[in-house]
Amino acid sequence: MSSSAALESGFVFGLNELFDLGLDRMEMAKIGQRAEIDFVGLDCGIMDQFASLHGKANHFIKLDCQTMEYQYFPYKRDDIAIVLCNTKVSHNLASSEYNVRHQQCKEVVTFYQQFYPEIKTLRDISFDDFKQHEKS
């Protein structure tokens, strides 16, 4: 979970409550995502903002980032603890290879679209399709 997404989510949630804006959690997550893209320069997805705003105690979330459908899965184990640690390691995704990797993924999709125009994202590429063109 990113600290910037947590701050964005908390900020937009607070404004929504303070000014009774009537935004739902999905709209707030999208606002946080736009802030990352437009002001930070990170071509990010919505997963971190979504998790910040949709988190539920003792549950995992299964999120389909393409359809935005999600499910909660209860998780309560007394014999296992999930621990989050602040390692105090600083990093800046906007100046990292993150945007480069994101662009490379888009280029792969563009490559496969010449053979399979219906492909919109990497997950649309079947293993068989991948194997057929992996040497190209």
Could you list the active site residues?
48
In 65-135, beta strands by DSSP E: 70-74
d(CA 51, CA 5): 9
- For helices 47-54 and 25-35, the axis angle rounded to 10 degrees is 140
d(CA 6, CA 3): 5
Type of residue numbered 14: G
In the chain, beta strands by DSSP E: 59-63, 70-74
Record the tokens describing residue 19, joined without a space.
Answer: 């000014």
